Each structure stands twice: as C-alpha cells, then as structure tokens.
Structure 1
Amino acid sequence: MEYVVEMLNIRKQFGDFVANNNINLQVKPGEIHALLGENGAGKSTLMNVLFGLYELDGGEIKVKGKTERISSPNKANDLGIGMVHQHFMLIDKFTVAENIILGHEPSRLGLIKKKEAIAEIVALSDKYGLQIDPYKRIDQIGVGMQQRVEILKTLYRGADILIFDEPTAVLTPQEIIDLMAIMKRLVKEGKSIILITHKLKEIMTVCDRVTVIRKGEGIGTVNVSDTSPQNLANMMVGRTVLFSTAKKAANPQEVVLAINDLVVTEEKHKIEKVSHLSLEVKAGEVLGIAGIDGNGQTELIEAITGLRKVKKGSIQLSGEKIHNLKPRQITEKGLGHIPEDRHKHGLVLEMSLANNIALQTYYKTPLSKHGFLNQKEIDQFANRLIAEYDVRTSSEHVPAGKLSGGNQQKAIIAREITRSPKLLIAAQPTRGLDVGAIEFIHKRLIEQRDLGRAVMLMSYELEEILNVSDRIAVIYEGEIVAVLNANETNEQELGLYMAGHKKMSEVGMHD
C-alpha cells in the first residue's frame, strides 16, 4: 500500500462559493506532509472534509487503500484519523486527564476507571515526550501544554493519521521547536502527519513533501528537498513574493509617544509587569518592541491603549497625558491600535464585517445622525475599505468570525489606519498570517511611517522586527534593556538582550 490517505478530485462548496475544486492529496505512511496555502485558500475546509466535519460534494477519499465515506468525526476516529484543531476543543474546568478521556471513558459497571485511564495517558505522554501532568486543570496550564493535551486526545483514541491545523499560530519560538521534535517522534513511531500551515520555515524544517493549494485549486505537490521557500511562496500566492520590505531611510521628527518611569502591575497578585520603563516613539519612525513572550510587552501596550491601569509614571501622546483614560478617549486623541488578540480585542465575531469596520467611528456623522445609525453609510464606508485593503469576503454583511485570519486582520488595519492616527500600535500584526498577507501588512506599516506617523511594532518574530523597524527597544522582565538601530544589530545580539544576558549599561547606549 503506497498511501495512508488519498483525497481524489475533492470538491466542496458552500452555496455558490467553491471552497475546494477537484483537489488531490496523497499522504505516504510515516511522512509529515504539509498542506500549504494562503489564508482562505481552502486548507482547513479540505481537512474538515477528511475529518468528517464537512460532507464532500464530489470526489473520493481512500484510507489505507479502501474507499471510505467519512460522515462524522467519530467515523474518522474509527479509521485512525485524529485532528488537532487550531482553536483548542478543551473544557477549562476539567483536568488534563478528564479532557483526554471525555467521550471515551473506560468504565466498569457504570463507574469510570480513572486510575487505568491516567496510567494509559501517562504511558502515552512518556512515549512521545509530551510531559503533561494529568491532574492539572486546563485553566492552570499554558497554551503550548494545552496543545499537547489535544495531541494526547487523538493518540488516546488510537489515531495513526494526525491532522495538525496551524499548530504553531499561538506558540512561542521555544514551544514551536518542542512541537517539531514531538512531530518527528510521532512519525518515527509509525504515525503519519498532515500539517496545515503557511509558515515556510516550518515546512523546510520538518516536512517531507508539500501540497500547495491556491484559491481552492490544487497547484501541485513537491518534495521539500527539491524546493525552496521562495519557490513555495510563489506557488502559494501566484506571483513573486518579496520577503524583505522595501523602504527608504526613516526621517524621525518630534516625539509622539513619551513614556516616563512607568509601573504597571498584574491585578490579582500585584506583581510588577512593567517596571520603571521609559521610552519614546517619534513621528516618521517604526519602533520595534522585541522580547520573549511574558516580559511585560502585553501589559505595556494595554497601559498605553487604556486597557490596563497605570500604577506609577506617565504616558503622553503629543504632549497630552493619556494614562488611565478610557480607551475611546485615548483613540480620540490620535491612537490607532491593532491588538495582539484580534478575536478578544479587535473584533466582535458575531457582528457583520461592515459594523466591525465602523466600530471606531459609528457614533460620528455620516455613519450616525442624532444618535441613530445610518446603515447605508456604514455599508458604503465598509465597502470602500474592503476594496482598498483587499479584504476577501462575499459580502460586507458576513459575520467577522467567518473570515480567514488574514482578512480579519486586514479589516482591523483598515479601520485603524483610515482614522490617520498620530500613533499606530501594531501588536503581533502578522501572527498566524501567510506570506502574502504579511507582505501587505508590512507595506502598510511603512506607509504610515512615511506619512509622518509614529508606529510602534510589537512582535515575537525577530525577522519581522529587524525587517520593519527603524529602532528596536528590547524588553526584559518589564524593563527596556537596550535601544538599538535596526541596521546596526542582528538576531544574535537581540537574542542576548532578550534572554537577559546583556544590558545596554554594559556596552554604552547606542540610540
């Protein structure tokens, strides 16, 4: 038998929209096979068909050589197919073990054999190097560990074909390295993996072959050893993609954001998350904030944007104090904010795309008059930005939650930039996005800089920080430990500062 999974001429449509059009995917035993495509290309749809969440409209699925009709996830499980979803399917108040066995509880005379289940979970965890604690509650463990629970859930159900849907979108760099090692261990033990991704670095590191789809069509399958990131990017987008952002030298002007001796604490335990931090961002520059996740960058941005109270110190926007004001008061003074968590702070997912695009300006004319919304004006306003920012949607009335991640992000960026903010804060603006969307967003950030606006970019991707920033401030344990010119540093030097091995005071500040 040559293939463990064959998806032949798969077609799936929703109304008039064809999400998958005659796509072929053939996975060999013991390989990591990437499914590569832009946001909204149809990758997740294809895998939801394989996992039984969607019923196919045409084509054939073979599992281990036999044609199968996969009508539900239970049927997929019976065939040895498991799926690790991008948005985890876990119950916060249950323990790790309870989540893993849920729906497959071993029992005798109506009683759950918990000890036996936990022993099996621990054995599986040890075998694949997952290192989980079965007694911990889900709300007590981090995102990386939650993902390991999802992997164990599929293994506990006997899966030998694992689908990973954008598994690294929410992980730190170290967690990504750990996950890659786990995936290699899984295939070494005889599993086969389908990896849905748009991250070329990961494909080149861990995959054997890659199938590329674009706008619902199959483009081709290539051996990773025979290709390059540039070639894969071009296949994925359908044109030559630029990996570095073309930009002229910055022309910094007056200080727009001035932070002085800022202290921000974590509410529950009153721990200092930002510690006596001072920083400036000037008009006409991109200031990058580099740091390992959890070093105070999220709390810093929440303090600037009014989402978190300031304990001590001051934040000024164009000379006006803005700390501890309400978020709307701050945005009215000239702040634009692309939030780190687009679902939590960027969009109302159940609300229409048009109304989301109007969220910052709906109370102003012409979008409303005498306290009443003018939906016609809101729709026209939204359609203008949808066209200008290439937000791919069938209608402005589609709920924002139905859009792909890249299109959700474009909608937020359109909404924030159209107000011409004096300061644009972009927190993790390309997280989970494909190379085409990343290129688009980087261009927009540079455009804002060139229009004389101040841009603060916070990202965990050092490549992004170095590519887009003019100056880079490194944050470590809530303090700025270095401010460097982007063209005078590199990943190695930044890494030393980020890990706390080096401080500017040791080498003299270069600004």
Structure 2
Amino acid sequence: MNAAEKAAPEPRSVGVETIGMTKVFAGLTALDDVSIRVAPGSFHALLGENGAGKSTLVKCMMGFYQPTSGTMLVGQKEVAVPNPRAAHALGIGMVYQHFTLVPSLTAAENLVIARADTPAVIDWKRERKALNAFLETTPFKVPLDVAVSGLSAGEKQKLEILKQLYLDQRFLILDEPTSVLTPDEADEVLGLLRGMTETGELTILMITHKFREVTAYADDVTVLRRGKVVGSGRVQDLSVQDMSRMMIGETEIRASAARAARPGKTLKLELAGLFADDDSELPAIEAISLKIHAGEILGIAGVSGNGQSELIEVLSGQRQPTDGRIFIDKQPYEPERGQMDRFKVFGFSEEPLKNVAVPRMSVAENMAFRTFDKTPISPFRGWLSPPPMRKRARELIAAYRVKTPSTEEPIENLSGGNVQRAILARELSGEVDILIVANPCFGLDFASVAEIRAQIMDQRNKGAAILLVSEDLDEILELADTVAVMSEGRITYQAPMPETDRATIGHAMAGHP
C-alpha cells in the first residue's frame, strides 16, 4: 500500500439491505418478502404507484413500524431498529415530503434543537462557530440567521438535508424531495446530493415518481407493486418504458388523446384583475388577468403556495374576491349553481373527497349532484326519484370504468383513482363549455392519470376552454396550449407553448424575470 492509499479517507457512506421484509396490518399484507440492497455511496431510486408499499418499507427501515418478519443489515451487520432514534444511531435519516422545520426559528436554531444533546442553556457564540465550520464541509449553503418562514422552498429543502448531515446521518431516505421545488431548485439539490454519493460521503434512497430525476441522478432502481419487488437494475440499462411497465404490470393504459387543430379563436373565459385575500386576510392573489379561448388549455404552473388554491376557490365560488370580474362569453359571471348551469361550467380538483364529494354518501348520490333537481331524478319540485338516479349512475360507471361494488357503495370506500373517475364522470358527462381543474392527477395511478389527461384533451378538442392549474410541470407541458406562471399571487410569465420550454418556465417559477 502506498502513501497516497494510506492517506485516503475512509468512505463515510453506509449501505443498507432488507432481507425478506414483510409487514402485515390486520390481515392486509402491505409488504411481501421485500429484499432490497442499497450499496454504500450509491443513489438508489424506489419506484411504485400509490399503495405499492414504498412508505411501509421505509417506515420499517426507520423504525416507525416493526416488520412482521424479515431482517435488515446496515454495513453488512444485522441490526434491530425498534424506533427512529435507533435508526439515527445507525446513521439512517429521512427527509420527508413535507417540511418538519419550526417556521418561527432561524436556520441555526432549527439545527441546534434537532440534536439529542442540546444543552438547557445554549452558548450561541460557540454554536454559531461550530455551525459555520460544519457548513464549510458541505455543498449546501443557507443563511443561518434568517427565520425559516423567510426562506424559499429550495432553501428549506436544503436545510432539511443539512439537518440530517449535521446529525451525522450517512444514509438518507428522501420522500418525494422535489415535490415543492422548481425544476432549477430540484436539479440543484439532487445534483449536490449526487456529488456527495460520488465522493463516498453519503448513500441515498429516494422515493420519487419523476422518471426524469431517476434517469438523471440515480445509479440503481427498485420497483414495488402491491407490496412486492417486481423489478430492479442499473438505471443505465433500463428505459423509462421498462420502469413504467414494471410499475403498472398488465394494467391497460389509455393512449394519449391526439391534439386536434384549434376550432377557433372565440374568447370564452376572461379573468379581469382578480384580487383575493387568504384566510388571514392577507393578499393571496393580485391582479390576475387571463383570457382563455374555445379549444384552448391554459396551464398555470407554479410552486405550491403561490396563490393557486385561492384562485381556484374564487373560480368555484368558495372564496369571495376583493376586486375584479369574471366574464364568460363576454358576459359577467358569478360562480354559483344557476350560472354554472347556464354557462356550462364544470370542474374537478385534487383530493375530491375533501373538495367536491361527500364521503359517506353513495356513488350514485355523488354522481347526481349536478342533476338531482332536474328531471328525471326530480320529476316534481322537492321530490327525488332514486331509480332514475341509480340508472344514470350505472351508465356513468360503465362509460368511465369506475370500479365500485354497486351504485350504493359510499364513495369514500373507493380507491383514489376511482373516486376521481366518478367525479370525472359527473363533471364531463354533459356538454362542457368551461372546464376548471386543479392538480387533477395528484396521487393517482398510471392508468387513472392517462385516463384523466385523455379526457381533458378530449374536452379541449370538442371546443371547451380549459383552465388547468397543476404543480406537475410535466402535466402542463403535456396538455397546455398556453402556459402562465403564478408567483407570489401574480401572473409573472405567460407564453404559447411553442414559444417556450421547460427551462424558461422553471426559471419563471423560481421568481426570476
């Protein structure tokens, strides 16, 4: 061994392996004999649809759950992980999908209080000196003396990762780490982490649904389906089609609807100088002005929390604007039931059980919300006739391939994809002139995503004017004819799709002119 080899530092990264990991909840097998090896110093992606077992697996690895059977190796040694503290002692940390920081405290304070040995009386001069020395050893930089509430989403995500490095975690589990980041921020964060794996400082296991990030940053991939490992391999040896096929199995996927030529330039929906406050009576949207024509999808991109939710609430009648007007066909419009019927305005959004459905009511009843006061369901004012309601529900269930035991099943018992299909059937089964949708595919399986996006495109091709608000930039790029970016409650960028690209849109999402 030469002097250079003797001087080379030992790699700090650690490898983790699960062998035959099984977890059963009250007779339901969430994990079924899952064996996965994450090599030290590697960047490993964990793929799978909702309910595939990804979260259960990492919660077993972190000690939140105890496996029914199976073992775990850390650094090739069998270990017991009875709780998260034991995981941390083994060098295993997790960065969650949603921030776990204290907003009112500074970045420095968040780091120091995360330690198990934080003293009762903190010597801040000493701690700040130690923190500055620590930051010199990492590629991540955040302002230590700024309150977390004043940091950008990208800085908060960096701070979450810094917290794990500060606690000396050498194996990081990342749960959808870029869901609140702009494309530029996502590439920066993942690029820095990739660099740390290449130098042997860190091992990464990342749960994600973004194939672009897998192909750009991961070394290896493991795919779960229905609690089992159905495929794995080197990313360089697999195509996106290979990985998606592993995820969905034999499920039939509807082909994307072709984009028809625009039927005309008729102005259908206009938002003129809309203002609205949030629940704290602070400005949430300011001077929102947009025009959407027949046969056009206008996609609003932006990081969550920039006013998109409040805009959708204004357009659906759930929040009163403080100023501005809405016009349909150049006529003033108020979002209430009568005018929605008159102007043929429909819509649906993410998490429909919280927004546009009554969970304990039946599938048939939820499907009838648009027609319960019309014939044949209501042949006389104030009277409901269940047989026509159920008949119509059966027709929609068949047409939209909703999987439900019966029309009388409480809608909350359906899977997420089938709840969304049921709402989709209700909203798109008639003549649609205006369609307003927000994150319509959030948390859904591949088949449901393909179905919903195809249905949206079908409505566009029939001449509907569509406002699509989505935090999934790939969804905007796939569907929209025109893109607008919302930042801090304002429209800061707008362009026809042929005149822009992902990088330009991502730059605007980050707040750059």
* Alignment TM-score > 0.5, same fold: yes
Single out whichever of 330-339 and 421-430 deviates more from structure 2: 330-339
1:247-289 residue CA offsets vs partner (Å, 9 max, x unmatched): 251564795843154242666898795447241332xx24122
| Residues 179-194 of structure 1 mapped to structure 2, 5 A cutoff | 179-187=189-197, 188-194=199-205
Partner deviation per Cα, 1:167-199 (whole Å, 9 max, x = no partner): 122222122112212312332352111011121
Task: Return the alpha-carbon distance in structure 2 between the equivalents of residues 111 and 360 of structure 1.
Answer: 62
1:228 aligns with 2:236: no
Distance 1:51 1:391, change over 3 A: farther
Q: What is the CA–CA distance in structure 2 between the aligned matches of 1:227 and 1:117, rounded to whole Å?
A: 47
Give the deviation of 1:313 after TM superposition.
4.2
Gaps of 5+ in 1: 504-511
State the partner residue of 1:508: none
Cα distance in 2 between the residues matched to 1:297 and 1:44: 28
Checking the alignment, whether the CA contact within 8 Å between 2:302 and 2:509 is kept in structure 1 is: yes
2:355 to 319, 335, 346: 346
Counterpart position of 1:237 = 248
Secondary structure at 2:231 match in 1: strand
SS at match of 1:178: helix
Change (3 A) 1:397 1:309: closer
Supply the AA of the counterpart residue of 1:89.
T
Q: How big is the shift at 1:82? A: 0.5
Q: For residue 96 of structure 1, report the CA deviation from its aligned partner.
A: 3.3
Give the alignment of 1:441-452 within 5 angstroms. 441-450=452-461
Residue pair 2:292, 2:467 contacting (<8 A) in 1 also: no
The answer to whether the aligner puts 1:77 opposite 2:88 as a matched pair is: yes
Number of aligned residue pairs? 487
Quick one: which amino acid aligns to residue 423 of structure 1?
Answer: I
Question: Computing the radius of gyration over CA atoms, which structure comes out larger, 1 or 2?
Answer: 2
Kindly report which structure 2 residues correspond to 1:276-355, keeping only aligned pairs within 5 A, or say none.
277-282=289-294, 285-293=295-303, 300-317=311-328, 321-323=332-334, 325=335, 334-339=344-349, 342=351, 346=355
| 1:156 aligned partner | 166
Q: Is the 8 A contact 1:291 1:474 kept in 2?
A: yes
- Select the residue among 437, 456, 478 that pairs with 2:467: 456
Distance 1:344 1:69 in 2: 39
- Aligned-partner residue type, residue 287 of structure 1: I
* Matches of 1:427 and 1:362, distance apart in 2: 19
Which stretches in structure 2 are left out of the alignment for 5+ residues?
A: 1-10
Contact 1:357 1:414 in 2 (8 A): no
AA in 2 matched with 1:322: Y
Determine if the alignment matches structure 1 residue 361 to structure 2 residue 369. Answer: yes
C-alpha distance in 1, partners of 2:395/2:28? 20
- Per-residue CA deviations over 1:193-226 (Å, capped at 9, x if unaligned) read 1011121110000000001111211112210111
Given candidates 489, 498, 501, the residue that maps to 1:491 is: 501
Q: Which amino acid aligns with 1:31?
A: S
**1:29 and 2:37 matched:** no
Q: How do 1:352-391 residues align onto structure 2 when only pairs under 5 Å count?
A: 358=366, 361=369, 364=372, 388=400
RMSD over aligned Cα, in angstroms?
Answer: 4.7
Moved more, 151-160 or 204-213: 151-160
Q: Which residue of 2 aligns with 1:49?
A: 60
Q: Secondary structure at the match of 1:127?
A: coil
- 2-side partners of 1:113 and 1:344: how far apart? 49
CA distance in 1, matches of 2:393, 2:454: 22
Query: Which residue of the other structure, out of 170, 184, 189, is the alignment partner of 2:180?
Result: 170
TM-score (norm 1): 0.77
Instruction: Look up the equivalent residue of 1:58 and give its one-letter code.
Output: S
Structure 1 position 498, deviation (Å): 5.3
Separation (CA, whole Å) in 1 of partners of 2:52 and 2:82: 23
- Aligned-pair identity (%): 27
Aligned to 1:139: 149
CA change 1:319–1:263 in 2 (3 A) is closer
Query: Cα offset for 1:147?
Result: 2.3
For 1:280, the aligned partner's letter is I
- TM-score, normalised to structure 2, is 0.76
1:455–1:62 distance in 2 versus 1, CA, 3 Å: same
Give secondary structure in 1 for the equivalent of 2:458. Answer: helix
Once the two structures are superposed, what CA deviation does each residue of 1:215-246 show, in whole Å capped at 9, x if it has no partner?
21111221011111121111211259879723
> Could you tell me whether the CA contact under 8 Å between 1:124 and 1:155 is conserved in 2?
no
Deviation at residue 315 of structure 1 after TM alignment: 1.1
**Structure 2 residue 212 is matched with structure 1 residue 201:** yes
Counterpart contact for 2:411–2:419, Cα < 8 Å: no
Partner of 1:64: 75
Indicate how the Cα distance of structure 1 residues 445 and 29 shifts in structure 2: closer, same or farther if over 3 A, else same. same
Of stretches 203-212 and 314-323 in structure 1, the one that deviates more from structure 2 is 314-323
- Which amino acid in structure 2 is aligned with residue 346 of structure 1? N
In structure 2, the residue corresponding to 1:111 is in which secondary structure?
coil
2:227 to 216, 221, 237: 216
Query: What CA distance in whole angstroms lies between the structure 2 residues aligned with 1:76 and 1:229?
Result: 33
Paired with 1:496 and 1:58, the residues of 2 have a C-alpha distance of 45
Q: For the residues of structure 1 that align with 2:149 and 2:367, how far apart are their CA atoms? A: 31
Q: Shift in Å at residue 360 of structure 1?
A: 8.9
Question: How far off its partner does 1:64 sit?
Answer: 1.0
Give the whole-Å Cα distance in 1 for the aligned partners of 2:346 and 2:467: 10
Q: In 2, Cα distance between the equivalents of 1:247 and 1:94?
A: 51
Choose the corresponding residue for 1:247, options 244, 255, 258.
258
Structure 2 counterpart SS, 1:455: strand
Instruction: Answer with 246-255 or 127-136: which moved more.
Output: 246-255
- Check conservation: 1:23, 1:217, Cα contact below 8 A: yes
Deviations 1:341-383 (A, max 9, x none): 649973799x66969994993995779x9899x9xx99x9699
Listed one character per residue, the Cα deviations across residues 389-436 of structure 1 (whole Å, up to 9, x for unaligned) are 55799x966968x977x6776566456446765422122334565644
Question: Quick check: 1:427–1:458 contact (8 Å CA) kept in 2?
Answer: yes
Answer whether contact 1:306 1:330 (CA < 8 A) is retained: no
8 A contact 1:482–1:497 mirrored in 2: no
- Match of 1:69, as an amino acid? A
- Quote how far apart the aligned CAs of 1:70 are: 1.3
For residues 427-438 of structure 1, the aligned pairs below 5 Å read 427-431=438-442, 435-438=446-449
Counterpart AA for 2:466: V
Q: Distance in 2 between matches of 1:468 and 1:86?
A: 26
Q: Is the 8 A contact 2:251 2:447 kept in 1?
A: no
Q: State the SS of the aligned residue for 1:149.
A: helix
Moved more, 199-208 or 428-437: 428-437
